[in-house]
Amino acid sequence: MKTVVILISGRGSNLLSLLEAELPGRIAAVISNRPEAGGLAYAKERGVATVVLDHRAYSNRADFDAALGDEIERHGDSKGPDLVLLAGFMRILSDGFVRRFSGRLLNIHPSLLPAFPGLNTHAQALAAGVRIHGCTVHFVTPALDSGPIVVQAAVPVLGGDTEEALAERVLRQEHRIYAQAVRWFLEERLLLTPGGRVELLGEGPPATPLISPAQA
C-alpha cells in the first residue's frame, strides 16, 4: 500500500477531507510547522501519527527544510513516502526541498492557475472582475504555483460576492478535487509527460463547457 504524508499549518480543512476520503493508500503522518495548528487534532482523532516541527526553532529556511525532509522520509520505505501533500502548508519551500520530492509533491491552490498565484487569491479575483474563479491541484516545482496542473474546479463569481463568500464556495471544490487527484496518483493514473504536462490515464469523455454568465 502506498504511503502519504500531509503537511499543514492551520485549521486542516483540506486535511479533514482527505482523512475522510477513504483513499487507496495509508496516511502515514501529518506534520505541522505550527504546534497550534487545529488540523493536528483531526489526525490524532483518527489514529494518524502527528509531528510538530516548528520552523521558528530554525535559524534559516534551508535548515528547516532539511529537517522537514528528513522527518518526511521517516514515514515510508527506504525512499520515504510515495506522496507528500501540502494542505494549507504556509511555507515557501526551498528549491532543494522541492527537488528532493520531485514528482511526488502535490499542492492545492485557491485559484485557476496560472491566474492569481500567491496569496489573497479571492481578493485578486474580485479586483480583476473575473466571472469564474476556482482551485487547482498541481505538482510542486521550484517556481511558485507554476507546476504541472492535475485537475481544476471552477465556480461562478456572483454579484455582491465578498472574499469570504467566494472563498467558501471555492473551498467546497478544493475538498472534492484534492481527494480525487490523490486517488488518481495512488492508482498510478497520473502521467507526467517529458513536456511537463499531466495526462490522466483512462480518462473519460470530455466535460461539457462551463460558461458564466450562462448563455440564454
| Active site residues per annotation | 109
C-alpha–C-alpha distance, residues 131 and 148, integer Å? 24
C-alpha–C-alpha distance, residues 212 and 174, integer Å? 20
Report the greatest alpha carbon distance in the chain. 59
Rounded (to 5) percent helix, strand, coil in the chain: 30, 25, 45
